Amino acid sequence: MTLRPARLFLYLILAVFCVYYLLPLYVMLVNSLKPLSEITSGGMMALPGDWTTAAWTNAWSQAQVGVEATGLKPYFMNSFLMVVPAVAIATLMGALNGYVLTKWSFKGATVLFGLILFGCFIPFQIVLIPMARALGFLGLAGTVPGLIFVHIIYGISFSTLYFRNYYAAFPTELVRAAEIDGAGFFTIFWRIMLPNSGPIAVVCVIWLFTNIWNDFLFGASFADYDSQPMTVALNNLVQSSTGVKEYNVHFAGAIMAALPTLLVYIVAGRFFVRGLMSGSVKG
Amino acid sequence: MARSAPSAAARMRELLPRIVLSPTIALIAIFVYGFIFFTTYLSFSDSRMLPSFGWVGFDNYVKLFQLRTWDIAITNLAIFGTLYIGICCVLGLSLAILLDQKIRAEGFIRTVYLYPMALSFIVTGVAWKWFLDPGIGLESVVQGWGWESFEFNWIKDRDMAIYTIVIAAVWQTSGFVMATFLAGLRGIDSEILHAAEVDGASKFALYRRIVIPQLRPAFLSAFVVLAHMAIKSYDLVVALTNGGPGTATEVPATFMYSYTFTRNQMGVGAASAEIMLLTIAAVIVPYLWSELREPKR
Amino acid sequence: MGFLDIDNVTKSYGAVKVLNETEISVEKGEFLVLVGPSGCGKSTLLNMIAGLESVTSGELRINGRRINEARPADRNIAMVFQSYALYPNMTVRGNISFGMEMHGIPKPEREKKIAAVAELLQITQLLDRKPGQLSGGQRQRVAMGRALTRDPDVFLFDEPLSNLDAKLRVDMRTEIKKLHAKLGTTIVYVTHDQIEALTLSTRIAVMFGGDVQQLGTPQEIYDNPANMFVAGFMGSPAMNLVPARLRNIGGVMSAEVTLATGTAITLPFPKASHLTQDDGREIILGIRPEALTDPEGASRDSQAIHQVDIPVDVIEPAGSDTFVTVSLGGKDAIGRFRAHTSARSGQPFPFAFDMEKAVAFDPVTEARLA
């Protein structure tokens, strides 16, 4: 053990950084619970004098986001309608791809994997123009299914990466044993691989959920007013230049937009970190 | 004995894995590589509001690099990228080392440091936008506490606004870098550390000479992730400053969007996207290459 | 034609040939062990029989039926893997039942089979556990149980004991042998452990460098190794391979070996009586440690015991035996003495050479001469 004062200093530094990281969350939270006048009069750091959830109800169901004063609620729903199928399909496809790439590998599989992987890293600006046209061509422009489609395509690269690395370490003898037992390609996948993929499936689902929920670029580019996801709606709410700036409503909306991913992080933080770490390709 | 021709069923079994993989290959081929090709073509075309296929050679690139806004955008990206990566690495490494000292409540502290990574950049942008706003945020709060001359109006200042983006981005991502380094630290063989201690190395020397050099892989993956986030960063700028004041915080990602979709200069927009892709590829391709190269038997 | 025919089979990966033309015919009920160092091609051959690797050329037949193209599941084989390959998400019961389920065997019949196999292997009380809750030996039993339910034509074992600790390995070895005696199934068993090969098999194929070096009963392999590789690989401690020279002294063949002191000793070598033309020829004399003993420990049946005093280099007591190292022909040679020997290092001691057990190899071709 080091000397006590040094130790104390260490804890002090760590505590200061806790404050640094928590401060914006604190600001959002306390200010979403006070009347606007308390904020504009310079009391941003203070606890609410007059506790009120008015800003929350306002942000949820009354605020003027698009053309109509619907609040953020419909956009929150859009985000869910978009995230759930996109995550489910991208994860399943990634699992199948990882299974093929590791257990039924063929010549050139590594090259194909490398080409798939590059999709994780492209700046999406490079696909915006053709994708806008492609969605129009497919009749999906400005719709939630259109966004689902886009997120599946660019989510597959990640899910494939996760499952491929996980399955690479998965004992091949199990697959061989199942083959000898008479199980075919899909039976092995459903009965042997998937039931043993719990941890990586959680990592993958969390990663995709967070990324797709938090996406802004695709939502802003390809959604219509009635299909916008939460992030785009929140930005519209905050940036709208008409009328008084209702900071408390903005903060309430921001917390709403953050809540699902934050909950996931708190419940399954361990897996969240593992997903982040898989930035190194070999895993 | 005559070699019997493999049955159709056997051939099907043989091909099944490739059939399963083929939808992904098709999607990636079209929507990644096909689209890259398409955008590349557009960057050499006379496209304005809609794609058009008249070949104009490098005109768009010439125009792009003559534009003052683009000049601002890449300068901003250089400033932002350097500071963002640099500060994240220094802060992340420092916090990781501090947290590696057998700290009580380490799990809690780690959770606190890392949670911003779960948030949308839009949320981060909104929080910091109003927190840094001189009218209601930090400046007004500190003045309210009695320090009347306190000034902090970077977000409204053309010269300083880009740094507010650095502040918010570092806040969001440094915890992740910390976690990367912490994992690296935990992966170091403790016997080596014991050996160094027996050799009489001070704590400082231990980290400088033994530990940090071994974190090379962690540095590499942190750098790759941060570099590519910096180049792609769009949401945060939109939410925090929306490119302003004026065009002071324009970055390539916002530039590309506005030239393509609002200023009807699709050719120039495509050219700027192309530059972004090439910049990222310059970082990623060598990285992927080295990671995926088959170990020689 | 045997029950399992490996007919001129080869395996290549691209330009690399890992298994040269191999010809083995296994009779029904035989226990064939493929033994050799890693990379010798034994696992490749086993995987080819299992259908997990394709056959480059040649033909595999079970019961006269060509199986080269058959799926693993259609070959009526069962396999026990080195890692046991138990499905971690299923209980022991599920593991054993899976293969039958895949083959469409109705549930009541499956249950009956599981009960019988569990009884046979004494794992009934483990049926509802997951593999993660089992010890190494228990997993081994489950893996065998899974294979047994198939009533396979051929049972394949891929180094099944190598993950067990030394004591358990010996126990399981005995058990596999008992099982074979009881069930009489044809077995092909891969191992790198020569003791496993000698104790379990009815026949051994010693493999090296993609070739079968020798195929024969354990006794043949041990007593008359076909070449120096087999001689060195089978048996522990390994056979002493001593540089020597053939001598024809009045029509009687001997082997002449130089000691560290420079003196040459002459050992009558009746087995080389067909080499009378080769007086003076250099050979490698192969003597197993148990044919190089203290005089009291020498075999009583042998007609060719020859006793020589040799200075002892090192003495290593090993409990039941004592190993004594001496220098023969410039090489260290190990003799197996009884536990309580009066030999002392540095001092000469009488050694008994059992020349009936000795063999001779050509130093260049490494093939056996006598």
Domain CATH for B91:
1.10.3720.10
What is the number of domains present in chain C? 2
What average pLDDT does range B15-38 have in this prediction? Answer: 92
What is the number of domains present in chain B? 1
Mean pLDDT of chain B: 86
**3-state SS class at C287:** strand
Q: Which residues of B touch C69 (CB under 8 A)?
A: 4, 6, 10
What average pLDDT does range C193-222 have in this prediction? Answer: 93
- Read off the CATH number of the domain in which C350 is found: 2.40.50.140
More confident residue, C44 or B54: C44
More confident residue, A229 or B157: A229
Indicate if C183 and C77 belong to the same structural domain: yes
Q: Which residues of B touch C66 (CB under 8 A)?
A: 1, 4
Q: Give the chain B residue nearest A245 (alpha carbons).
A: B130
Q: Which helix (H) or strand (E) holds A213?
A: helix A198-214
Is A25–B232 a contact, with Cβ atoms under 8 angstroms apart? no
> pLDDT at residue B5 above 70?
no
Which pLDDT does position C130 carry in this prediction?
92
Check if C79 contacts A (Cβ < 8 Å). Answer: yes
> pLDDT at residue A259 above 50?
yes
In a domain, B181, yes or no: yes
ipTM: 0.88
What average pLDDT does range A216-238 have in this prediction? Answer: 90
Of A60-69, C7-16, C309-318, the one with minimum mean pLDDT is A60-69
> pLDDT at residue A97 above 90?
yes
- Read off the CATH number of the domain in which C212 is found: 3.40.50.300
pLDDT in tens, A47-76: 888 888 888 888 888 887 777 778 888 999
What average pLDDT does range C278-284 have in this prediction? Answer: 89
What average pLDDT does range A100-118 have in this prediction? Answer: 88
- Domain end point (choices C201, C233, C265): C233
Nearest residue, CB atoms, C87 vs list A180, A182, A192: A192
In a domain, B102, yes or no: yes
Q: pLDDT above 70 covers what percent of chain C? A: 100
Which pLDDT does position A84 carry in this prediction?
96
Indicate if C268 and C213 belong to the same structural domain: no
pLDDT in tens, A127-172: 988 999 899 999 988 899 999 999 999 999 989 988 998 898 889 9
What average pLDDT does range C170-197 have in this prediction? Answer: 91
Nearest residue, CB atoms, B242 vs list A20, A114, A239: A239
Enumerate the β-bridge partners of residue C212. C207
What average pLDDT does range C355-369 have in this prediction? Answer: 91
Which pLDDT does position C21 carry in this prediction?
93
More confident residue, B2 or C237: C237
Q: Which residues of C touch A177 (CB under 8 A)?
A: 79, 81, 85, 87, 146
pLDDT band at A282 (very low <50, low <70, confident <90, very high): very low
Check if A106 contacts C (Cβ < 8 Å). Answer: no
Residue C137 tokens read as 């030996």
Measured between alpha carbons, how far is B200 from B182 in angstroms, rounded to an integer? 24
In a domain, B139, yes or no: yes
Of B287-291, C34-38, C87-91, the one with minimum mean pLDDT is B287-291
Q: Which helix (H) or strand (E) holds A27?
A: helix A4-32
In a domain, B295, yes or no: no
Which pLDDT does position B297 carry in this prediction?
37
In a domain, B62, yes or no: no
pLDDT band at A248 (very low <50, low <70, confident <90, very high): confident
For residue B1, give how far its alpha carbon lies from the nearest alpha carbon of chain A (Å): 26
Could you give the strand order of the β-sheet that contains C292-293, starting from the edge strand earlier in sequence?
C292-293, C348-354, C305-311
Nearest in space to B76 (alpha carbons), one of B165, B139, B1, B145: B165
In a domain, C175, yes or no: yes
Could you give the strand order of the β-sheet that contains C77-80, starting from the edge strand earlier in sequence?
C77-80, C154-158, C186-191, C31-35, C203-208, C211-216
Indicate if C82 and C214 belong to the same structural domain: yes
Measured between alpha carbons, how far is B297 from C15 in angstroms, rounded to an integer? 15
Indicate if C73 and C135 belong to the same structural domain: yes
Indicate if C229 and C244 belong to the same structural domain: no
Residue C302 tokens read as 């042998």
Query: What sign does the CA torsion over B43, B49, B55, B57 have?
Result: negative
Nearest in space to C31 (alpha carbons), one of C163, C160, C169, C200: C200
Q: Which residues of C touch A183 (CB under 8 A)?
A: 73, 98, 102
In a domain, C369, yes or no: no
Q: Give the chain A residue nearest C100 (alpha carbons).
A: A181
Indicate if C198 and C59 belong to the same structural domain: yes
Which pLDDT does position A207 carry in this prediction?
86
More confident residue, A42 or A169: A169
Give the rounded distance of the alpha carbon of C57 from its chain centre.
26
pLDDT band at C42 (very low <50, low <70, confident <90, very high): very high
Nearest residue, CB atoms, C66 vs list B1, B10, B13: B1
Domain extent for C88: 4-233
Measured between alpha carbons, how far is A80 from A67 in angstroms, rounded to an integer? 21
pLDDT in tens, C135-150: 888 998 899 888 888 8
Give the rounded distance of the alpha carbon of B2 from its chain centre.
61
- Domain end point (choices C233, C257, C277): C233
pLDDT band at B294 (very low <50, low <70, confident <90, very high): low
Which pLDDT does position C58 carry in this prediction?
92
What average pLDDT does range B216-242 have in this prediction? Answer: 86
Which pLDDT does position A87 carry in this prediction?
96
In a domain, C133, yes or no: yes
β-strands C186-191, C154-158: how paired?
A: parallel
Q: Give the chain C residue nearest B11 (alpha carbons).
A: C69
> pLDDT at residue C216 above 90?
yes
Residues in Cβ contact with A20 at an 8 Å cutoff, skipping those fewer than 6 apart:
B171
* Region at C122 (left for phi over 0; alpha for psi -120 to 50; beta for the rest): left
β-strands C252-258, C264-268: how paired?
A: antiparallel
Nearest in space to B130 (alpha carbons), one of B234, B239, B247, B250: B239
In a domain, C275, yes or no: yes
More confident residue, C228 or C272: C228
Measured between alpha carbons, how far is B225 from B5 in angstroms, rounded to an integer? 51
In a domain, C55, yes or no: yes
Nearest residue, CB atoms, A173 vs list C71, C85, C99: C85
DSSP-assigned letter for residue A63 = S
Which pLDDT does position A280 carry in this prediction?
45
Choose, out of B36, B74, B112, B122, the residue to mutate when testing the contact with A (most A CBs < 10 Å).
B122
Mean pLDDT of chain C: 90
For residue A196, give how far its alpha carbon lies from the nearest alpha carbon of chain C (Å): 6
Nearest residue, CB atoms, A176 vs list C85, C99, C103: C85
Indicate if C310 and C334 belong to the same structural domain: yes
More confident residue, B4 or C151: C151
Is C99–A181 a contact, with Cβ atoms under 8 angstroms apart? yes
Is C59–B1 a contact, with Cβ atoms under 8 angstroms apart? yes
> pLDDT at residue B101 above 90?
no
Q: pLDDT above 70 covers what percent of chain B? A: 97
Indicate if C108 and C163 belong to the same structural domain: yes
Which pLDDT does position A283 carry in this prediction?
36
Check if C78 contacts A (Cβ < 8 Å). Answer: yes
Domain extent for B127: 67-290
C-beta of residue A30 within 8 angstroms of C-beta of residue A46: yes
Domains in chain A (CATH in brackets) are 4-52 (no CATH), 73-277 (1.10.3720.10)
Which pLDDT does position B149 carry in this prediction?
81
For residue C89, give how far its alpha carbon lies from the nearest alpha carbon of chain A (Å): 6
pLDDT in tens, B29-65: 999 999 999 999 989 988 888 888 888 888 889 988 9
Indicate if C216 and C264 belong to the same structural domain: no
Indicate if C106 and C247 belong to the same structural domain: no
More confident residue, A6 or C105: C105
Cβ burial, residue A163 (10 Å; 0-12/13-18/19+): buried
Residue C68 tokens read as 């080269």
Which pLDDT does position A69 carry in this prediction?
79
In a domain, C367, yes or no: no
In a domain, B41, yes or no: no
Query: What sign does the CA torsion over C120, C121, C126, C129 have?
Result: negative
> pLDDT at residue B175 above 70?
yes
Indicate if C88 and C106 belong to the same structural domain: yes
Which pLDDT does position B6 carry in this prediction?
57
Is B288–A281 a contact, with Cβ atoms under 8 angstroms apart? yes
pLDDT band at A277 (very low <50, low <70, confident <90, very high): low
Check if C99 contacts A (Cβ < 8 Å). Answer: yes
Is A231–B235 a contact, with Cβ atoms under 8 angstroms apart? yes
Q: According to DSSP H, which parts of chain C are helical? A: 42-50, 92-102, 107-121, 136-148, 166-183, 194-200, 218-223, 228-233
Which pLDDT does position C1 carry in this prediction?
66
pLDDT band at A278 (very low <50, low <70, confident <90, very high): low
Indicate if C35 and C169 belong to the same structural domain: yes
For residue B8, give how far its alpha carbon lies from the nearest alpha carbon of chain C (Å): 12
Nearest residue, CB atoms, A257 vs list B123, B280, B288: B123
In a domain, C119, yes or no: yes
In a domain, C368, yes or no: no
